[in-house]
Structures are given as structure tokens and as C-alpha cells.
């Protein structure tokens, strides 16, 4: 590694490699399976840009949707990892404390008032998510931030923001309502290249920030005195990490709706696999991507020809996991 050497956790490398393979297998399966089965060789031809009779099914219908799912999952995974790291509590994930709901409320509001431009909606979502996070933070702050208070207030805001969303939906007409209802549960149906490109470019812009976060994350997991003694401006680093997490979660929500519990699940699964002290960012991103792509594959096929929103499936897995966390946890009841 030369001069820029840094510690590499061997198990993490293995896990990352295996997750990458798993993701490749899942995406291949996603592209092959559907209304009509496309053999893997044809899929590879399409992906590599060679002429193929399955160009339309794979290249136009399945591929962009899969790319969106993959990016959304990765964004949720990283977002969850960052916020959970700062909060030191898995329960402070963006879909529990109202960030996703804030992003959806403002986005559905914009849809109802006739804003349909895909160039504007991501910013609306980010604004909604950041505003919700700021509100929860302000109200939970009382001479310090206590995890249980933060989570309780977050849950309250999540409920209130969900009813704001329904408020906009009852105001809009039937078509908007149906679109919004499906979108609100998290759906990848009908996502095509413009959305994929927009999401991809937004995430690309955020990539340097994520690289910074990967380093900064380590300082936050130290205890406060050690970190401060090493000259880390803890307050700023924490704020930066949370802000990045909120923006990522909001961007993902803006594209696919609140795909529930991915941000809670992915970092926890990733961490259990790598067995590291801190939550691994790359593995979280990969796990998130695998979860969403796999869930969407199931959502497409399970009740075919009817499609379920992908959020229904992730919630069906994520909610029991949350219950397990509550039952098992030693920290939920008391102080964090």
C-alpha cells in the first residue's frame, strides 16, 4: 500500500468480496427472471451493448429499474450506517425517526400542487428530510441529546408527517392519490433511465463526502474525551455525518418512496458479518443494494401478474427485525 497505508480488517475485505459476488448474482437473477425468462447469455449481451432480441425487455424495462433499486438500496444502507454510528443506536434509523416521512410529505405535497419535474423533486425531498431531522433534533434537545427521548419524539413526528402526507393525498385527485399511495410505500415500478441517471449523478456528487465520512466515522466511535484529546471537533464531525446521512436517505426516498427499514436493516446485517466495532460503510451499501434488488425481484414475481410495492416486502422483513431488537436489547429501555 506504500506510504498511504492504513489498517485493513481482513474479515471486512472477505465480506465485501462475498457481498459483491452476491450482488452480482442477485442483479443477474433480477435481469433474467420476469414475465418472460431471458437466458443469462442474452442478458450479458444487452448489458455489454451488443445487439440482442431481448434488448427491449432487459435494456429498457428491467435494467434501469434494477439500477435505481441498487442505488436506492446503497444510499439507504450508507445513510443508516452514518446515522446509527452517530446515535450509537440502531433504532435511530431514518425511517423510524421521521426523516423518510418528512421527505415523502414534502414530495407528495409538491406532486399534489402540480410539480412533476424530475429535476426539481429530489431537491424537494432533501429539503423535506433535512427539515424533519432538524425539527426532531431541536425538539429532542434538552441540555443534551438523550437517545430514548430522540427516538420517542422522532416516532411522534413520523406519525404526524405521515398524516400530513395523507392530507395532501386527500386534497389531490384520484390519479395523484393512487400514484402517491404506491410511491409512499416505496415502489420501483416504472422507474427508467432519467431517474436512474439523476440518482446516479446525485450520488456521484456526494461520493467525496462519503469518502470523508468513512474516515471521520472512526473518530466518532471513540469516546468523547479521547476524540477531543486527539483534536477532533466532535460536534462538527457528528453534524456532518448526520447531515450526509439525512441527505442520502432523502435522495433515496425522493426516488423510490420510503422503502421502509432498509436503512435500519442493512448496517446491522453488515456489521454482524464483518464483526467490526464500527459499522462498515461499503458493506452496508452492498447489503442495502442486495436487499432492495432482491425484495423488488420478489415484489415483481410473488403475486404476478400484480406487482407489490417493494416497501411492502422490506417492511415485512424489517418490522420483525425491529421487534427482535426491542426484545433482545439491553439499551433500549434505559439510557443509550
Partner 1 sequence: MAAAPPAAARSKPVARRIALTGAAVAALAVAVLLSLAVGARAIAPTAVLDALLHGGQSDAAQVVRELRVPRTVIGLMVGAALALAGTALQGITRNPIGDPSLLGISQGASAAVVLAIAFAGVHELTGYVWFAFAGAGLASVAVYAIAARGRGGATPVKLALGGAAINALLVSVTMAVLTTKAAALDEFRFWQVGSVAGRDAEVVAQTWPFLLVGVVLVVSVARGLDALALGEDVAKGLGQNVATVRVVGGLGATVLTGVGVAAAGPIAFVGLAVPHIARAIVGGDHRWLLPMAALIGPVMLLVSDTVGRVIFPPSEVPAGVMTALIGVPFLVTLVRRKAVAA
Give residues in contact with partner 1 (CB under 8 A): 91, 96, 139-140, 142, 146, 148-149, 151-153, 155-160, 162-164, 166-167, 169-171, 174, 177-178, 181-182, 185, 260-261, 303, 306-309, 311-313, 315-316, 318-320, 322-323, 326-330, 332-334
Contacts of 314 (CB under 8 A, 6+ apart): 186, 259, 260, 261, 262, 265, 291, 292, 295
Q: Which is nearer to partner 1, 10 or 328 (CB)?
A: 328
Q: Least distance to partner 1 from the beta carbon of 133, Å?
A: 15
Q: Least distance to partner 1 from the beta carbon of 136, Å?
A: 9
Q: Which is nearer to partner 1, 281 or 292 (CB)?
A: 292
Q: Least distance to partner 1 from the beta carbon of 297, Å?
A: 16
Q: Which is nearer to partner 1, 16 or 261 (CB)?
A: 261
Query: Rounded to the nearest 5°, which phi and psi values hold at 53?
Result: -65, -20
Give the number of other Cβ atoms within 10 Å of residue 172's Cβ.
19
- Which triple of cell numbers denotes residue 146? 438523550
Give the number of other Cβ atoms within 10 Å of residue 90's Cβ.
22
Q: Which is nearer to partner 1, 214 or 316 (CB)?
A: 316
Q: Least distance to partner 1 from the beta carbon of 188, Å?
A: 13
DSSP codes of every residue in 256-281: H---TTHHHHHHHHHHHHHT-SSPPH
Q: Which is nearer to partner 1, 10 or 330 (CB)?
A: 330
Give the distance from CA 279 to its chain's centroid: 15
Cα separation, 123 vs 101, in Å, equals 15
Q: Which is nearer to partner 1, 38 or 183 (CB)?
A: 183
Q: Which is nearer to partner 1, 36 or 170 (CB)?
A: 170
327-336 own/partner pairs: CB under 8 Å, 24+ apart: 331/89, 331/147, 332/91, 332/148, 334/148, 335/146, 335/147, 335/148, 336/87, 336/88, 336/89, 336/146, 336/147, 336/148
Q: Least distance to partner 1 from the beta carbon of 98, Å?
A: 10
DSSP codes of every residue in 144-192: S--HHHHHHHHHHHHHHHHHHHHHHHHHS-HHHHHHHHHHHH---TT--
Q: Least distance to partner 1 from the beta carbon of 294, Å?
A: 16
Q: Least distance to partner 1 from the beta carbon of 151, Å?
A: 6
Amino acid at each position: 500500500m506504500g506510504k498511504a497505508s492504513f489498517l485493513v480488517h481482513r474479515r471486512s475485505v472477505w465480506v465485501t468480496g462475498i457481498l459483491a459476488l452476491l450482488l452480482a448474482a442477485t442483479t443477474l437473477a433480477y435481469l433474467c427472471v420476469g414475465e418472460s425468462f431471458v437466458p443469462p447469455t442474452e442478458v450479458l449481451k444487452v448489458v455489454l451493448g451488443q445487439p440482442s432480441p431481448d434488448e427491449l425487455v432487459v435494456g429498457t424495462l428491467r435494467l434501469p429499474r434494477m439500477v435505481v433499486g441498487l442505488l436506492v438500496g446503497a444510499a439507504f444502507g450508507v445513510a443508516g450506517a452514518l446515522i446509527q454510528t452517530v446515535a450509537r443506536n440502531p433504532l435511530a434509523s431514518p425511517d423510524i425517526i421521521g426523516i423518510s416521512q418528512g421527505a415523502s410529505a414534502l414530495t407528495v405535497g409538491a406532486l399534489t400542487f402540480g410539480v412533476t419535474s424530475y429535476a426539481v423533486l429530489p431537491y424537494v425531498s432533501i429539503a423535506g428530510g433535512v427539515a424533519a431531522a432538524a425539527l426532531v433534533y431541536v425538539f429532542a434537545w434538552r441540555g443534551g441529546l438523550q437517545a430514548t427521548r430522540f427516538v420517542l419524539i422522532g416516532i411522534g413526528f413520523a406519525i404526524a408527517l405521515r398524516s400530513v402526507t395523507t392530507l395532501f393525498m386527500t386534497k389531490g385527485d384520484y390519479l395523484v392519490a393512487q400514484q402517491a399511495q404506491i410511491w409512499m410505500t416505496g415502489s420501483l415500478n416504472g422507474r427508467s433511465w432519467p431517474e436512474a441517471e439523476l440518482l446516479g449523478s446525485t450520488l456521484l456528487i456526494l461520493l467525496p463526502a462519503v469518502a470523508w465520512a468513512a474516515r471521520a466515522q472512526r473518530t466518532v466511535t471513540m469516546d468523547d474525551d479521547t476524540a477531543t484529546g486527539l483534536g477532533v471537533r466532535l460536534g462538527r464531525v457528528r453534524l456532518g455525518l448526520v447531515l450526509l446521512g439525512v441527505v442520502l436517505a432523502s435522495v433515496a426516498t425522493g426516488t423510490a418512496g420510503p422503502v421502509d427499514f432498509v436503512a435500519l436493516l442493512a448496517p446491522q446485517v453488515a456489521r454482524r458479518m464483518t464483526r467490526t466495532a464500527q459499522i462498515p460503510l461499503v458493506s452496508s451499501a452492498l447489503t442495502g443494494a442486495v436487499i432492495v434488488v432482491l425484495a423488488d425481484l420478489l415484489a415483481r414475481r410473488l403475486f404476478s401478474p400484480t406487482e407489490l410495492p417493494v416497501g411492502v416486502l422490506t417492511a415485512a422483513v424489517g418490522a420483525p427485525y425491529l421487534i427482535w431488537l426491542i426484545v433482545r436489547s439491553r439499551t433500549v429501555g434505559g439510557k443509550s
